[in-house]
Structure 1
Amino acid sequence: MTMRLRPMPWLTGIVAVMLVILISLGVWQFQRLQWKTSLLAEVEASVTSPPLTSLDDLIRAIDAGEPVDFRRIAFQSSPTGGEPIYAVYRTQQGGIYWDLFQQYGPIFGRYDTVLSEAKPDGTAVSPTNIVADVLVGYVREDHPMGRVEGWLKSKPNRKTNRWFKFNQTGDWGRPDTITTHYIDIATKLPFDTADRGASAAEALPVRRPTIRNNHRDYMLTWFSFALLLIIFYLMIHRRAGRLTW
């Protein structure tokens, strides 16, 4: 059986452009599916790993390229001497909050609101009694701002200590500071022994982020549209007598 097709030039051109767009969107969603699947696997490996028990352990894990986002950690350290407390503006559920960060060696800690205070104008007040304690929390990985985000985000004001993203300008720490990771400090304990800190980190609930992965459905949707477009294209030619067997 031989198929003969006499394409309609104008319709063929339109369909060709639409096919390129639909297939490109499907391929993009396939790439997003691969990336999201890998990300979820990394997060799962991180949250199920044994808690870190020192900043040195964390630094070694980062240098080794291990997944650390949302990993539990307990460490004993005083804030780096002379370092300021940075107040970072954020909004949540209609309210305005100020996240407080302070440097611990090459890492920054973000204090839970239970452990810190901030005035309404954003002026940071030193977190209470955070001296030589065991600090327990979750490691977080922050991502640099993209070009568009950099244009849209409000610019920091060093004089009033107003910031709009973690380490927004890269000026918070010394050159040896790790500025892509910080620790969400959830609780603190009086420093007794390292074992107590390790036990506290182990008792901390596993924290899994809610990350949707619908890219397989999106991919199949775009490829289905492309297939339907081809079917409609052939049906139109069949009705017009331009497609015969």
Structure 2
Amino acid sequence: MRRTFFFLLTSGLGLVILLSLGVWQLQRLAWKEGILAEIEAKIAAAPTPLPHTPDPEADKYRPVEISGHFEPGEIHVITSIKGPGPGYRIIAAFQTDDGRRIMVERGFVPTRNKRMDRPLGAAKLIGNLHWPVEVDSFTPTPDTGTNVWYARDVVPMAETLQTDPILVIQRTDPASGLRLTPVGIDGIANDHLQYALTWFSLAFIWAAMTAYFLWRTRATSKGST
């Protein structure tokens, strides 16, 4: 009797913990969906002039309208897009009409078009400020000899192109011929529903195993009498 009571107590605590973890993930899901909705609203807002000193936190995703001209100098960041497949993000130097030199992500080209010339000169475009966090300890060092970068890293890219550490992701096309890669929320992980289902599934299995053990224990007790 004492063993059964201890087993039920332990099993009950385990079930409560698993269910609590599932509920916590549902709460995290609601929180993340709220954050994503805020980001979507910010991305889709009306564009404003480029701030004089953009803040990587406060101005991330801010829509801006800029005019100026593209200058020689590109960085090619290797990536892959569903459909076209492997290719490169083209990040170019851009001189604004007010004299600032910034970076603009012009879009995507397949691998075969990496060395093609892109149009330079005057342009007026709308895009979103972005400071992507893509570099970690496993990211290879850029191959500057072949101009192949393995992730976007604003500060080193700016140093290479001799620009301010400001990146605008273009979302309107001034006849560049590139495939646009506008900012969106697709790359922001939101796996909380999957985690919640996992915890609830484990709770169900835990409860089923507990019930089975109790049934077998009772059947064995009856058989021995």
The residue number in structure 2 matching 1:90 is 79
Deviation at 1:217, TM superposition (A): 6.0
Change (3 A) 1:124 1:165: farther
The residue number in structure 2 matching 1:49 is 45
Q: Which amino acid aligns with 1:109?
A: V
Equivalent position SS for 2:168 = strand
Matches within 5 A, 1:135-154: 135-147=125-137, 151=138, 153-154=139-140
In the alignment, structure 1 residue 112 sits paired with structure 2 residue 107: yes
Distance 2:12 2:110 in 1: 59
Comparing both chains, which one has the higher relative contact order based on Cα–Cα distances under 8 Å and sequence gaps of 6 or more?
1
Equivalent position SS for 1:46 = helix
The residue number in structure 1 matching 2:223 is none
In the alignment, structure 1 residue 167 sits paired with structure 2 residue 153: yes
Matches within 5 A, 1:34-45: 34=30, 36-45=32-41
Change (3 A) 1:177 1:34: farther
Report how many residues are paired. 204
Q: Which amino acid aligns with 1:77?
A: G
Matches within 5 A, 1:223-234: 223=200, 225-227=202-204, 229-230=206-207, 232-234=209-211
Distance 2:147 2:68 in 1: 24
The residue number in structure 2 matching 1:77 is 68
Change (3 A) 1:164 1:140: same
- 1:201-240: per-residue Cα shift (whole Å, max 9, x none)? xxxxx98645785634641552353155235415523552
Distance 1:64 1:141 in 2: 9
Q: Which amino acid aligns with 1:41?
A: A
Matches within 5 A, 1:1-245: 6-7=3-4, 22=18, 26=22, 29-30=25-26, 32-34=28-30, 36-52=32-48, 54-56=49-51, 59-60=53-54, 62=55, 65-66=58-59, 68-69=60-61, 71-79=62-70, 84-92=73-81, 93=83, 95-104=85-94, 105=100, 107-112=102-107, 120=112, 122-123=114-115, 125=117, 127-128=118-119, 130-147=120-137, 151=138, 153-167=139-153, 170-174=155-159, 177-178=164-165, 181-188=167-174, 209-210=185-186, 215-216=192-193, 218-223=195-200, 225-227=202-204, 229-230=206-207, 232-234=209-211, 236-237=213-214, 239-241=216-218
For the 8 Å contact 1:30–1:219, the answer to whether it is kept is yes
Q: Which amino acid aligns with 2:203?
A: A
Distance 2:78 2:41 in 1: 31
Distance 2:57 2:189 in 1: 28
Distance 2:46 2:217 in 1: 68
Structure 1 unaligned segments of length 5 or more: list them: 190-205
Deviation at 1:185, TM superposition (A): 4.9
Distance 1:214 1:96 in 2: 26
* Percent identity (aligned): 23
- TM-score norm. by structure 2 comes to 0.63
Distance 2:13 2:165 in 1: 47
- TM-score norm. by structure 1 comes to 0.59
Structure 2 unaligned segments of length 5 or more: list them: 95-99, 176-181, 220-225
For the 8 Å contact 1:87–1:100, the answer to whether it is kept is yes
- 1:180-219: per-residue Cα shift (whole Å, max 9, x none)? x432253238xxxxxxxxxxxxxxxx98645785634641
Deviation at 1:157, TM superposition (A): 0.8
Deviation at 1:101, TM superposition (A): 0.8
Alignment root-mean-square deviation, CA: 4.5
Equivalent position SS for 2:37 = helix
